């Protein structure tokens, strides 16, 4: 085992040593119930978790089903009477279970395939929506940056890059010495860790975290909830960083006084609902605080299933029917309550709700859209929403043609078919896919 693997084992062992075996973590797990596991077997499942941690053999059948179902909701950690970070423990246990169950080369091949597919989609969507100078700025090596603050985008937000531009506008308004870094060259390594390809994870995710430190930045602001979770639980606790790490929403909420003084009073009247996810620090509370400070905005509080997963998609995609029901339920409740806008917290959630305007009388915006607009900034086109809503694609195609040429990227019909499936097969609300497929298929054929 590597030194990094030893440190992970030490974290898991410390959790097992503190665990009293009460089973409360299993009892509150939303995906254990969704998978049909018996809550009366909670103590047995936790005993199996401790045994796997200490002995490293293959997971017992009941435990394997629980580990496989985990969507990272962190309800387990919140419920633990001993204050154990159970989500972290289970994440490491899942790695050990996969390592014991299949050959290392199988894990490496699976991780590489998932990473390649993600990277291709991110590259195409970013190249269709961003000018080359902005992409070059984001993708430049982290260790070569000199700013005091790094805004770390992760990979997948580049599918909806207007969010990145919004955050940059907001940080500019705060007059920070910051730089933006992200893309697949700075991946958090989630696919490699999930597939138990730990050597490659160390070369990707662990290395990315080290590169932040090499930049000399005093603060790294994360965007992606998965990156935030991975770095906060697989890196920060393994080796204390030289920089402060936290989600950008929490940082903005901590600077709300400065932002509020800059907000323009003449804002459109809105009645909004936040699509909430618990599990990543104080993001729900932070986004709520920010929105309540925006002039003419009324924030409606609606009951919602915010504890099922820490974000849309990803792990929650194992339970597509449940996730789809959450989306429909919130949209219908928002309409019934007289809301006119759904505000998303994260980029995967934004993709899930981006097509809701084709189905419901609602606008869908990210919280960064609202804050940037209140500052007199923002206004960046949300081309992804145009894709998902269907209808006329003229504006989106025209922009894509210009940006693809700027980035020196050519697309073919096979790539566009794959991208169409990526966009419209995701769990979420959308209009018909035909408009996107026809328009961008034509772009691939004729430029």
Tell me how many degrees the CA angle 383-316-417 measures, rounded to the nearest 5. Answer: 45
Interval 109-134 mean pLDDT: 96
- 316: confidence class by pLDDT, cuts 50, 70, 90: low
pLDDT computed for residue 369 by the predictor: 98
Q: Give 236-271 pLDDT, tens digit per residue.
A: 998 899 999 999 999 999 999 999 999 999 999 999
**Phi, psi for residue 87 in degrees, rounded to 5:** -60, -45
CA dist 143 and 119 (Å) reads 21
Tell me: pLDDT of 355 over 80. Answer: yes
Confirm whether pTM is higher than 0.75: yes
**Chain position carrying tokens 């974000």:** 311
Tell me: pLDDT of 24 over 90. Answer: yes
- 210: confidence class by pLDDT, cuts 50, 70, 90: very high
Q: Give 287-305 pLDDT, tens digit per residue.
A: 999 999 999 999 999 999 9
Output the average pLDDT for the chain.
96
Give the contacts of 220 (CB within 8 A, at least 6 positions apart): 149, 150, 152, 212, 241, 243, 244, 245, 246
b/e per residue, 37-76, with b = 16+ CB within 10 A?
Answer: beeebbebbbbbbbebbeeeeebbebbbbbbebbbbbbbb
Tell me: pLDDT of 315 over 70. Answer: no
Q: Give 40-60 pLDDT, tens digit per residue.
A: 999 999 999 999 999 888 899
Interval 146-158 mean pLDDT: 97
CB 387 within 8 A of CB 423: yes
Percent of the chain with pLDDT over 70: 99
Interval 318-341 mean pLDDT: 96
Domain boundaries, given as residue ranges, for the chain: 3-101, 104-254
**Phi, psi for residue 165 in degrees, rounded to 5:** -65, -35
Interval 328-334 mean pLDDT: 98
């Amino acid at each position: 085992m590597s030194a990094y693997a030893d440190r992970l084992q030490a974290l898991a062992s410390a959790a097992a040593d503190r665990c009293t075996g009460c089973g409360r973590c299993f009892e509150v797990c939303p995906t254990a119930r969704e998978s049909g596991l018996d809550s009366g077997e909670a103590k047995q499942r936790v005993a199996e978790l401790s045994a796997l941690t200490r002995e490293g053999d293959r997971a017992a059948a009941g435990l394997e089903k629980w580990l496989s179902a985990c969507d990272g909701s962190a309800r387990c950690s919140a419920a633990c009477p001993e204050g154990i970070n159970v989500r972290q423990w289970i994440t490491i246990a899942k790695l050990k279970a996969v390592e014991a169950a299949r050959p290392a080369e199988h894990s490496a091949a699976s991780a590489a395939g998932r990473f390649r597919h993600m990277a291709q989609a991110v590259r195409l969507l970013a190249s269709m929506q961003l000018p080359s100078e902005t992409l070059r700025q984001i993708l430049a090596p982290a260790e070569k940056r000199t700013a005091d603050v790094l805004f770390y985008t992760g990979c997948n937000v580049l599918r909806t890059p207007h969010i990145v531009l919004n955050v940059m506008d907001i940080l500019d308004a705060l007059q920070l010495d910051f730089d933006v870094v992200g893309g697949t060259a700075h991946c958090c390594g989630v696919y490699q860790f999930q597939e138990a390809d730990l050597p490659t994870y160390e070369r990707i995710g662990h290395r990315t975290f080290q590169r932040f430190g090499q930049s000399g930045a005093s603060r790294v602001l994360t965007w992606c909830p998965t990156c935030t979770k991975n770095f906060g639980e697989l890196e920060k606790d393994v080796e204390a960083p030289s920089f402060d790490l936290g989600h950008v929403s929490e940082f903005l909420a901590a600077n709300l006084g400065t932002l509020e003084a800059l907000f323009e009073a003449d804002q459109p009247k809105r009645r909004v609902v936040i699509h909430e996810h618990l599990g990543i620090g104080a993001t729900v509370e932070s986004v709520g605080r920010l929105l309540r400070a925006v002039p003419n905005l009324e924030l409606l509080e609606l009951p919602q299933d915010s504890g099922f997963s820490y974000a849309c998609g990803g792990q929650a995609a194992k339970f597509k029917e449940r996730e789809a029901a959450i989306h429909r339920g919130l949209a219908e409740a928002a309409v019934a309550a007289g809301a006119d806008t759904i505000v998303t917290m994260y980029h995967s959630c934004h993709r899930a709700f981006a097509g809701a305007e084709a189905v419901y009388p609602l606008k869908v915006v990210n919280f960064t859209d609202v804050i940037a607009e209140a500052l007199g900034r923002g206004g960046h086109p949300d081309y992804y929403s145009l894709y998902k809503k269907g209808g006329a694609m003229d504006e989106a195609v025209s922009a894509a043609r210009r940006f693809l040429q700027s980035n020196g990227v050519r697309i073919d019909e096979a790539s566009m078919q794959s991208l169409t499936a990526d966009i419209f097969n995701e769990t979420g609300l959308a209009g018909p896919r035909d408009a996107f497929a026809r328009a961008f298929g034509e772009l691939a054929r004729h430029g």
